[in-house]
Structure 1
């Protein structure tokens, strides 16, 4: 019985975190966390920091390009 209560509690916590992640993504929150992780990567993991900037540049390039239907 204790295991069932534990698993139910764990499921509720994971569902709450999943909901919060989707909410934060929809509302544009979480950029502070991304910035903090980027600062950590810059200080301790240089290659991860470089990859972060490359991915950001790729995302910016994709968002600037329009579709052929827009013409």
Structure 2
């Protein structure tokens, strides 16, 4: 019986964390966690840190689009 209670608790905690992650992503509130993880990556996993900044630069880049008058 103790195993069932323990597993139920684990399921509830993981479900709550999953819900919180989706809520934070929809509201755009995950930047603080992303910054903390980037600091961890910089300290312990240098290749992961470099990849993080490359992906951020790619996301920030805007593709050049022509003006409608150019047609």
Q: TM-score, normalised by structure 2?
A: 0.73
Q: How far 1:65 moved relative to its partner? A: 4.2
Structure whose alpha-carbon radius of gyration is higher = 2
Q: Mark the CA change 1:7 to 1:51 in structure 2 (over 3 Å): closer, same or farther.
A: same
2:59 aligned partner? 59
How many residues align structurally?
65
**Runs of 5+ unmatched residues, structure 1:** none
Distance 1:46 1:17 in 2: 27
Structure 1: distance between partners of 2:29 and 2:17: 14
**Structure 2: where are the runs of 5+ without partners?**
none
Matched, 1:39 2:31: no
Q: In 2, distance between residues paired with 1:45 and 1:2?
A: 39
Q: Distance in 2 between matches of 1:32 and 1:7?
A: 30
